[in-house]
Chain A
Amino acid sequence: MVEISKINDNIYEVPIGYRPGMRVPGRIFVSAVLREMVEPGTVDQVANVASLPGIVKYSMAMPDAHLGYGFPIGGVAAFREEGGIISPGGVGFDINCGVRLLRTDLQAEAVQPRINTLIDALFEAIPSGLGATGRLHASDQQLTEAFINGSAWAVEEGYGVEADLSHCEENGHMPGAQPSQVGVKARKRGRPQLGTLGSGNHFLEIQKVEEIYDEAKAKQFGLFKGQITVMIHCGSRGAGHQICTDHLEVLSKAVKKYNIDIPDKQLACAPLGSPEADNYFGAMVCAANYAWANRHIIAHWTREVFERYFPGSKLDLVYDVAHNVAKIEEHQVDGKRERLYVHRKGATRAFGPSRSEVPDTYRNVGQPVLIPGSMGTSSYVLCGSDQALDLTFGSACHGAGRVMSRSQALKLFTGQNVKAALNRDGIVVKATSPGMLAEEAPQVYKPSGDVVDVVHNLGIATKVARLVPLGVSKG
């Protein structure tokens, strides 16, 4: 048996031969402490991805990696346009699950005394939790436009402003949407849920900038110590889940048709250029755009609530990142520029100043990389770097990553004691279900600081600011 080898303090290599059929080695970016938390199953998943056709350089796992289905969560893999594949497993069910950060011109001292009222109002204004439907009641036509134009559609409808768009990855609307590839079921799930937060680890959080690591970059991102920020974490809801489910069925058959040997059914894929691959990509883009529209609408309602309690306050969009998506990007491979399909499943794009995708306002420093903490722990703003392009196709971690199962969490915690502990730390929480609070207790996640330090120490993305929660609204 070939063993995992340590390349340096933060990089471990899974050599070819670790599992049968590997075409490239795997690389896991972790510190010694986090390495202990990576389950053997996760390493197997990194190795399995390495066996997919057309994979370039390495099958990678970010420091928050944990067991997924097919791909690990925290997985990054890029495939050549010639001879490569696209796989819904490398994107996930929640297509374009992502994070958006709004900065306010308010100081924490002004907001903190009214935090309970504010969280109650946000909880009221933004539908969340299981069984909730939106305030929006989108028509079929509106849904199609959201699929095609994402955030740009939302702005046309009066949600958010034009200036927000350049501060979204892909300007909030990725080209290549094919609404004809979205099935009836996905449309039916998507329509009532446009403008809803969802459940699970999704949240809306009022935060305070607690610490600045890099004054110059913080200034560029419009962040200062003691400032109030709002973070929104959600995705493409039932529309995305159903699109993934439907196309997985098609791609499971494509694997047989094109004779692709896969070690796990959830790695179903199709050769790039095949109709099955094109159709999945076109449908995935629809879900990605839906998610951008969704976060745009939620941000708009957040602004309305702030306007009610803090008239004249300004909430500008710092940035909006996707952490579950496949994108066509150009990268340097063996000295050549190549078009690759980069899959990021629980990983955030972290482009540096050299990339034209970074908006003008941030071009001299790099894109903001938003890493949400778990409920009750710090979130981080980092800045992408050109070094990441070489190491990880310009990708960083996406969060903290779970270390404890839900059933274990329910044995150890109750919603009530989790809430009380958070209250003691000055954090107000509002959630639809107490069980959810127990399952999402801060202790079930890896320490977000450790995860971020690996990314920082490798130079993939450097720390700019640390944000602490004051109030959390959860599904």
Chain B
Amino acid sequence: MIPFEYLEHTADIKFRAYGKTPEEMLSNAAAALFKSMVQPETIAIKETWKVELKAFDLEDLAYQWLSEIVFLFETESAVFAAFAVKLEQDATQSWKLQAEIGGERIDLKRHAFGNEVKAITRHKFGIKKNEVWCIQVILDV
């Protein structure tokens, strides 16, 4: 299983991320998102950020999760390269995500930047489970 792959898209960035578990899929999706923004090899892990999110379904949770990473990148002036995701479903079937994100503050001399991701779009956004879990995402750049 490859962790993620980028697909052809004329104007924006489209990717699919995979995982044996929904946790692994969300972690790989975050890595795919961030790789389009900054080359991961240029990022050292010096600090961690904690994220907690809740949603009624997994798709909503995934959307919030990826949007949160874009938000943290801009407001914390930080770049990320490690994404550890834990999921829980409570009695009402709502989803809860707890994540630890590893990275460091932006260093314009060292970090190789790529695309500016404006937002995660809802266009053709979706999660499927066949042999493995798969999420498809289109980024507005």
- Rounded to whole Å, the gap between the CB of A190 and the closest CB of chain B is 10
Contact B11 A73 (CB under 8 A): yes
In the complex, per-residue mask of A243-286: 1 if CB is within 8 Å of any chain B CB, else 0: 01100100010000000000011101000000000000000000
- Rounded to whole Å, the gap between the CB of B59 and the closest CB of chain A is 10
In the complex, per-residue mask of A219-254: 1 if CB is within 8 Å of any chain B CB, else 0: 000000000000000000010011011001000100
- Give the contact stretch, choosing among B17-25, B82-90, B111-119: B111-119
Contact A189 B123 (CB under 8 A): no
Contact of A93 among B6, B114, B119, B125 (CB under 8 A): B119
- Rounded to whole Å, the gap between the CB of A356 and the closest CB of chain B is 33
A238 to B116, CA, bound (A): 10
Main secondary structure of the interface of A (DSSP, over half): mixed
Kindly report which residue of chain A lies nearest to residue B114, judged by CB atoms: A435
Interface residue? A200 (CB, 8 A) = yes
Interface residue? B128 (CB, 8 A) = no
Contact of A69 among B70, B114, B115, B140 (CB under 8 A): B140
- Rounded to whole Å, the gap between the CB of B24 and the closest CB of chain A is 24
Contact A131 B141 (CB under 8 A): no
- Give the number of chain A interface residues (Cβ < 8 Å): 47
* List of A residues within 8 angstroms of B58 by Cβ: none
* List of A residues within 8 angstroms of B8 by Cβ: 405, 407-408
B:114-141 near A, CB below 8 Å: 114-116, 118-123, 125, 138, 140-141
Contact B118 A241 (CB under 8 A): yes
Given contacts A245-B67, A433-B112, contact A67 B118 (CB under 8 A): no
Most buried by A among B9, B77, B111, B116: B116
Kindly report which residue of chain A lies nearest to residue B78, judged by CB atoms: A131
* List of B residues within 8 angstroms of A199 by Cβ: 113, 115-116
Interface residue? B106 (CB, 8 A) = yes
Interface residue? A195 (CB, 8 A) = no
Contact A200 B6 (CB under 8 A): no
Interface residue? B75 (CB, 8 A) = yes
Contact B116 A185 (CB under 8 A): no
Given contacts A66-B10, A245-B67, A404-B10, contact A200 B115 (CB under 8 A): yes
In the complex, per-residue mask of B28-67: 1 if CB is within 8 Å of any chain A CB, else 0: 0000000001100000000000000000000000000001
- Rounded to whole Å, the gap between the CB of B97 and the closest CB of chain A is 16
Interface residue? A5 (CB, 8 A) = no
Contact A200 B125 (CB under 8 A): no
Contact A131 B67 (CB under 8 A): no
Contact A402 B118 (CB under 8 A): no
* List of B residues within 8 angstroms of A172 by Cβ: none
* List of A residues within 8 angstroms of B114 by Cβ: 130, 433, 435-436
In the complex, per-residue mask of A48-80: 1 if CB is within 8 Å of any chain B CB, else 0: 000000000000000000111110010000000
Contact B106 A131 (CB under 8 A): yes
Kindly report which residue of chain A lies nearest to residue B68, judged by CB atoms: A185
Contact B115 A131 (CB under 8 A): no
Interface residue? A406 (CB, 8 A) = yes
Contact A131 B121 (CB under 8 A): no
Given contacts A265-B122, A405-B8, contact A189 B71 (CB under 8 A): yes
* List of B residues within 8 angstroms of A407 by Cβ: 6, 8
A242 to B11, CA, bound (A): 20
- Rounded to whole Å, the gap between the CB of A372 and the closest CB of chain B is 15
Contact of B119 among A241, A433, A436 (CB under 8 A): A241
Kindly report which residue of chain A lies nearest to residue B9, judged by CB atoms: A405
* List of A residues within 8 angstroms of B9 by Cβ: 67, 405-406
Most buried by B among A130, A133, A405, A439: A130
Contact A432 B140 (CB under 8 A): no
* List of B residues within 8 angstroms of A68 by Cβ: 11, 123
Interface residue? A129 (CB, 8 A) = yes
Interface residue? A308 (CB, 8 A) = no
- Rounded to whole Å, the gap between the CB of A291 and the closest CB of chain B is 13
Given contacts A67-B10, A198-B116, contact A93 B140 (CB under 8 A): yes
Contact A39 B10 (CB under 8 A): yes
* List of A residues within 8 angstroms of B106 by Cβ: 131
Instruction: Using A189-B75, A402-B11 as known contacts, list a sample of 6 further A-B pairs with CB atoms less than 8 Å apart, ordered by residue number in A.
Output: A66-B10, A73-B11, A131-B111, A406-B115, A436-B115, A439-B115
Residues of B in contact with A (beta carbons under 8 Å apart)? 6, 8-13, 37-38, 67, 70-71, 74-75, 77, 79, 106, 108, 111-116, 118-123, 125, 138, 140-141
Residues of A in contact with B (beta carbons under 8 Å apart)? 39, 66-70, 73, 92-94, 129-133, 185, 188-189, 192-193, 198-200, 238, 241-242, 244-245, 248, 252, 264-266, 268, 402-408, 432-433, 435-436, 439, 475
